[in-house]
């Protein structure tokens, strides 16, 4: 027969696990990033013609991909959207690839693109947005090894937070160097073993619902609360064993 102390311990454990499961179910966590818009230069591509998006998530619209006024077209390219005349020196506000997405309550997380040239090269890149009038970089870095399938760069744009309306992004390269065609840069498509260009985040169709019932907890707060409950269950069990 199970003693009264054992029964109490089982009830305490069950109560503790029930509270933990309720907190996990009622707590909110960041949603996994989805592809909001995708541009994939495929086949023979003429960069004098803006490149339309290949696919767009429900609730989102997206513009064509185009080059800034400081760039010139090199002609036709296979599976790549290319431009000439990128800066060999300091940052130039006229040298960029531009694209935009439009939606309501969009949480932007990243922009990923395969930076490409048909010869290797190096330089620096930045991504900016219309939210601050392209005044500052959301993310930046250096690059090299951009031939073949291109170099996949994942830029963090999470600082934008939640946006409604149109957000235009601009990708800049500067300090460009290389033995051949060092001022030629573009986006490599999947047909050339690249990954094209994607805007990633979380789009909600309609207004975001306010949290109901249990208040939303951050990961750190939830972990601490679960730990405290576990300690309480352990101490109660110890007392019941005496």
Instruction: Kindly report the average pLDDT of the chain as a whole number.
Output: 84
Per cent of the chain over pLDDT 90 is 70
- Min mean pLDDT across 58-67, 100-109, 124-133, 214-223 is at 214-223
Q: Is the pLDDT of residue 14 over 80?
A: no
The arithmetic mean of pLDDT across residues 63-79, rounded, is 97
Residues 6+ apart with CB under 8 A from 209: none
Q: Is the pLDDT of residue 72 over 70?
A: yes
Q: Is 48 left (phi over 0), alpha (psi -120 to 50) or beta?
A: alpha
Q: What pLDDT is recorded for position 206?
A: 53
Domain boundaries, the chain: 34-203
pLDDT in the model for residue 229: 61
Percent helix, strand and coil across the chain, each rounded to 5?
25, 40, 40
Q: Identify the pLDDT of residue 27.
A: 43
Predicted confidence at residue 7, as pLDDT, reads 45
- The 10s digit of each residue's pLDDT in 109-118 is 999 999 999 9
Q: Higher pLDDT residue, 25 or 141? A: 141
Tell me what pLDDT residue 219 has.
Answer: 55
HEC-encoded secondary structure of 58-124: CCCEECCEEECCCCECCCEEECEEEEECCCCCCCCCCCEEEEEEEEEEEEEEEEEEEEECCCCCEEE
Distance (Å, rounded) from C-alpha 53 to C-alpha 32?
A: 22
Residue 208 binned pLDDT confidence (cut-offs 50, 70, 90): very low
**What is residue 12's predicted lDDT score, i.e. its pLDDT?**
43
User: Taking the model in full, what pTM does it have?
Assistant: 0.75
CATH number (2.60.120, 3.10.50, 1.10.3470, 1.10.287) of 34-203 reads 2.60.120
Residue 204's pLDDT band (boundaries 50, 70, 90)? confident
Rounded to an integer, the average pLDDT of 105-128 is 98
């Amino acid at each position: 027969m199970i003693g009264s102390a054992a029964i109490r311990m089982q009830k305490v454990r069950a109560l503790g696990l029930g509270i933990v499961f309720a907190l996990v179910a009622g707590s909110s966590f960041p949603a996994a990033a989805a592809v909001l818009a995708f541009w994939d230069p495929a086949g023979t591509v003429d960069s004098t013609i803006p490149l339309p998006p290949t696919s767009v998530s429900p609730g989102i619209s997206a513009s064509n991909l185009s080059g800034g006024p400081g760039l010139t077209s090199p002609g036709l390219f296979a599976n790549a959207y290319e431009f000439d005349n990128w800066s060999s020196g300091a940052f130039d506000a006229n040298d960029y690839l531009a694209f935009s997405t439009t939606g309501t309550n969009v949480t932007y997380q990243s922009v990923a693109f395969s930076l490409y040239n048909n010869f290797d090269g190096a330089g620096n890149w930045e991504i900016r947005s219309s939210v601050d009038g392209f005044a500052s970089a959301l993310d930046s870095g250096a690059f090299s090894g951009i031939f073949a399938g291109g170099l996949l760069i994942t830029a963090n744009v999470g600082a934008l937070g939640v946006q409604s309306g149109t957000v235009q992004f601009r990708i800049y390269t500067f300090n460009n160097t290389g033995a051949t065609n060092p001022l030629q840069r573009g986006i490599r498509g999947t047909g050339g073993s690249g990954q094209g260009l994607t805007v990633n985040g979380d789009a909600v169709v309609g207004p975001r619902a306010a949290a109901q019932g249990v208040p939303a907890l951050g990961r750190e707060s939830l972990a601490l609360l679960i730990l405290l409950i576990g300690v309480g269950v352990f101490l109660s069990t110890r007392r019941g064993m005496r």
